[in-house]
Amino acid sequence: MIGNIYAIAAVAIIGGGLFGFDISSMSAIISIPQYKCYFQSGPIPDNPADCTGPSADVQGGITAAMPGGSWLGALCSGYISDLFGRKKAIMIGAVIWWIGSTIICAAQNVPMLVVGRIINGFCVGICSAQVPVYISELAPPSKRGRLVGAQQWAITWGIMIMF
């Protein structure tokens, strides 16, 4: 068992960076031809450069699925944490993340992609609400602010790097 708060916070910081990557991941792929052709609304043209991708409202739904799931996960995170404890709630979030990522990677159509993003968003909601509190509970008062701040900072850097 690891008892060093810096080691625990380092895992949380890496996880925060990965959350940031996932939150802004759509901005990195919506313009590439492979995405546009695979999720094309309407017939697929002969030339991949002519693919327009999903229609604007469908793309909006795909993009909004992640924050929608995050909203729901944040609402449920307190109940899950009260029921299982913060550490197990974070572990449950990791399992939910794995399920959502598997669905996204296997997405054959837009509904499957949206469902996977909602599930991943649910995990983001749970973990973004519970990880800072968990770090705060473990850290001594003199280190609490910098460790929680570093985790939040990593989320911001992840968003910026992926965007």
Give 109-150 pLDDT, tens digit per residue.
999 999 999 999 999 999 888 999 988 888 889 988 998 899
How many Å apart are CA 53 and CA 2, to the nearest integer?
47
Between helix 86-105 and helix 56-84 the angle, nearest 10°, is 150
pLDDT by residue (tens digit) across 41-87?
Answer: 888 788 878 888 899 999 999 999 999 999 999 999 999 999 999 98
Q: What angle do CA 49, 26, 93 make, to 5 degrees?
A: 145
24, pLDDT greater than 90:
no
- Does 2 score more than 80 pLDDT? no
